[in-house]
Chain A
Amino acid sequence: MDDAIKVIFDVAAFASIMVLVVSGLAVIASLMGIFNLGHGEFVLLGAYTVYVFREWGLPIFLGMLAAPFVVGAFGAVVERGVIRRLYAQPVIAMLATYAIGLIIREIVRGLIGGQYYAIEEPIPGAFQVLGLSFSIWRLVIIVATVGVMIAAWLFLTRSTLGLQIRGALENPALARASGISTTRLYALTFAFGAALAGLAGALMVPLFSLSADLGVRFLVQAFLSVMLGGVGTFEGPLLGAAMIGAMVPGFQWLREIPGVSDGVSPVVAEVLVFLTALVIVKFRPNGLINAGRR
C-alpha cells in the first residue's frame, strides 16, 4: 500500500514534467504544423533564465516567473526572423529550428563553461504523509502542470483569440478573408509555444541541474510523445507525454516485482519505453487522438 502511493506520486510527477515539456512542442506542432527541433533549447533557455536570475542575486522564483516571458519574447523574434519565411517549406523550417537550437545550446555551453549547475528549488525539501516522504517541488510541478494545461486548454477552446488561432490553422485563406491577420496569429502561437517551453525548463531545472544538454535529453521523448498522441490536436500530444512520462518511472518500478529485476536491467527498462510506444504507434499510426484535422 505504501509502495502503491509512492509509485502513483512518482509516476504522476514525472508524467507532469513530460507533459510540461511537450506542451510547447504540441502547440507549435499541432497548430502550426512545424516540428520545432529547437524545442529542447527553448526549454534550456527557460532553465538558463533562472540561473541568470540567481547569478544576479535575485530570488529564484522570480526567475521562474520571468522565464516564460523571456523565452516567449525570444520565440517571437525567432518566428519573425526565420520561421515566418519558411511556412511554405516545413522541412526547411524544421532544419532551421534545429540550427537555431544548436546555436542556443553551444552559446549556453560557452556561457556556463560546459559545467553542471545545481539550482535550488524555491521551496526545498520533503513533506511527510502516512510516514512516507514526498518531494515538495515535485508536488508543485504536478499542481503547476495541471493548472497550466487547464489554462492553455481554456485559452485555445474558449477564448476568441483561441478560436481565431484554430480557425487560421484550419483554413488560413478563409481566416484571412474574414479579416483575421494570420501572420500575427502564427507569431503569437509560436511565442506561446516557446513560453510554455521556457516555463517547463524553469520549473524542472531544480530537479535535474542546469547543463547545455538539458533540453536534448527530453527532445527524443517529447517527439515520441507527439507521435504517440497524434499531431493535430493540443490534447493528443499531452496524452502521449503523460503516457511516456508514466512509463519511464513505471518500468523502473516493474523491476521491484520479485523475479523481474534479474531480467530487466535499468537500461532494458529504458528501451522498453520506446518499444511500447512504437508498438502502440504501429496499431494507431495516426496517434491516440487524431480527430478534427483529417
Chain B
Amino acid sequence: MNDKRMTRRGFLRGSSALAAAGWTAAGTGWVLRPSWANAQEGAIKMGIATDITGAIAPSGNANWQTAQFAVKQINDAGGILGRPIELYLEDTASDPGVAVGNVRRLVQQAEVDVILGGITSAMREAIKNPIVRRGRTLYIYPQLYEGQECTPHLYCTGPTPYQQCAELLPYLINETGAKRFAMPSANYIWPQLLNKWAREVIEANGGEVVMEDYFPLDQLEYSATVAKIMSEGVDHVFNTVIPPGLQAFTKQLYEAGYYDQGSLSCVYFDENSVHYVAERELEGVYSCVDMFHTIEDPFTQQLIADYNAMFPGTQYRFTAGTASTGMYRGIKLFEQAVIATNGDLDRDATSAAMDTAAIENGPGGPARMVPGTGHTEMNMYIAQSSGGSWNIISSAEAVAPNECG
C-alpha cells in the first residue's frame, strides 16, 4: 500500500524527470528522440495524444509511460526495419475541447505516421475525425470500451463488451449460481451499451436482471439503491458505477451485509482497484479483463518486470483498466503493420496491413486484428480478488471482439 507514497521531493523530482529522460519541448508538446538515427530514411514518427493532466491523468500517464516503454524496447532492438521511432506527446488534458487543437498539431506540425491515445469515449469521439478524416492519419484507440466504433482507419486494441461479458457472465451464472442480477451504473455511454450486452448474455443463460439504474457520475449516496438490492434478493451486482461514486456505493453495499447474500463483479477493476476500494470491500469481487499481474504467461511477467524496472516505484502501473495493455498491444501491432508494408508509411498502406496484423506475444498473450472489423482478438481472464491480489479462476484464449461485422 505504501509503494506509491509521494513526498514533496518525489513530486519535484517527478516534474523534472521529463527533461532528464531526454524529452525536449517542441512548441507545446514533447518529443522523445531516439538515441540513434537512420541517416537514409529518418525516424518513424509516432504521436501519443493522451490525458497527462486532469481527471483522467492516472490512466493517461500510465499510457504515456507504456508508450515510452514499448518504443524503447523497439528502438533498443534496432527499430522497425532499421528505423527508430520518434515519440511525440500531446496532452489532451481530459478535455475534448482542448484535445482537438493539440491533436491537430500532431497531424499538421509533427506530421506523425500514427496516433495512439484517448481514454474516454468522449475523447475518442472528439479526436477521431481530426485524426482519421481531416488528418488522414492512422488512429489506434487502446482502452476497453462500449463497442460500436467502426470508423475506417481507426483500430481498437482494448477489450469490447462482448469480450468482457461473454465469458464472465455465464461463469457467474453456471459456477457461482448467480440468478438475480442488479446493474447499478454511472450515467454515460460505456455502462449503457455494456449493460445492453450484459443483459442479453444474462438472459440467454437463464439469469434475470431485476434492477438497472443510472446514477449521476459523482453521486455519493446510495442507501435507497442498496436497500433495494437487499430486499430484491439480488445475488449478483454487475457494477459499472465509477469513481468518485464507486467508493460510497461499495462501502454502503458492504455495510448493509450484501456479501452474505451475493457477489459483485466489475469489468474495469484491476491491480489499481485496491487503492480506491477498501480491501475488505474488494474481497471476493470478480473482474474480467485482458491481463492480470497474476497470470502465468512468462512474456507478460517479463513485460511487467521490465516496465517496473524502467519506472521504479511509479504510481502509474502497467494494468488493463488504465489501457496500458491496449497501448502496448497497439504499438506492437503497428510495428508488425510497418514490417508488412516493408516500411511504406502511407496511411492507406499501413492501415491495410494493420487490418490483418498479429503479434505472437503481448500483455495477456497473443493478439490479432480481426480483418475488416478494426478490433482485436485477445485472451480474456476472469479473476477474483483475494487479499488485495487477483486470483485467476478461468481464462479463455483468442476471444473474438464481435464488433463491426
Bound form: Cα–Cα A124–B169 in Å: 31
Question: Which residues of chain A are near B190, meaning CB under 8 Å?
Answer: none
Q: Does A190 contact B (CB under 8 A)?
A: no
Are A209's CB and B221's CB within 8 A? no
User: B220 near A: Cβ within 8 Å?
Assistant: yes
Q: Which of the segments A75-83, A114-122, A148-156, A278-286 contacts the partner chain?
A: A114-122
- Residue of B58, B227, B248, B254 near A115 (CB, 8 A) is B58
The verdict on A193 contacting chain B, using a C-beta distance below 8 Å, is: no
Contact A110 B227 (CB under 8 A): no
- Docked pose: A190 CA to B218 CA in angstroms: 29
Q: Which of the candidate stretches B74-82, B209-217, B360-368 sits at the interface with the other chain?
A: B209-217
Q: Mark B309-334, 1 if CB is under 8 A from A, else 0.
A: 00000011000000000000000000
Question: Are A117 and B275 in touch, CB under 8 angstroms?
Answer: yes
Cβ-defined contact, A266 with B219, below 8 A: yes
Select B6's contact among A112, A206, A211, A267, beta carbons within 8 Å.
A112
Contact B11 A6 (CB under 8 A): no
If A135-B252, A211-B244, A267-B214 touch, whether A113 touches B58 (CB-CB below 8 Å) is yes
From A39-47, A84-92, A167-175, A249-257, give the one contacting chain B. A249-257
Q: Does A158 contact B (CB under 8 A)?
A: no
**Which one of B2, B215, B220, B280 has the highest number of Cβ atoms from chain A below 10 Å of its Cβ?**
B220
- How far, in Å, is A22 (CB) from chain B's closest CB? 15
Bound complex: CA A10 to CA B223 (Å): 6
Interface centre among A10, A109, A117, A266 (most CB of B within 10 A): A266
One digit per residue, 1 when the CB lies within 8 angstroms of any chain B CB and 0 when it does not, for chain A 230-262 equals 000000000000000000110011011000000
Q: How far is the CB of A229 from chain B (nearest CB, A)?
A: 20
User: B215 touching A266 by the CB < 8 A rule?
Assistant: yes
In the complex, the answer to whether B316 meets A55 with C-beta atoms within 8 Å is: no
The 8 Å CB contact of B256, one of A109, A120, A126, is A126
Q: In the docked arrangement, what's the CA distance between A13 and B255, Å?
A: 14
Q: Is A292 an interface residue (CB 8 A)?
A: no
Min CB–CB distance A213 → chain B (angstroms) = 7
Per the bound structure, the CA–CA distance linking A214 and B254 in Å amounts to: 21
Within 8 A of B (CB), among A155-212: 206-209, 211
- Min CB distance A279 to B, Å, is 21
A116 adjacent to B243 (CB under 8 Å): yes
In the complex, which of the residues B11, B227, B244 contacts A208, with contact meaning CB atoms closer than 8 Å? B244
Interface residues of B (CB under 8 A from A): 2, 4-6, 8, 11, 53-55, 57-58, 61, 187, 213-216, 218-225, 227-228, 243-244, 247-248, 251-252, 254-257, 272, 275-278, 280-281, 315-316
Q: List 12 A-B contacts (CB under 8 A).
A: A3-B227, A6-B223, A111-B6, A113-B61, A114-B54, A116-B247, A126-B255, A206-B251, A209-B244, A248-B220, A255-B224, A270-B219
Beyond A14-B221, A211-B243, list 12 extra A-B contacts (CB 8 Å).
A10-B224, A110-B11, A111-B8, A118-B247, A126-B254, A135-B255, A207-B220, A208-B244, A213-B55, A252-B224, A253-B223, A253-B227
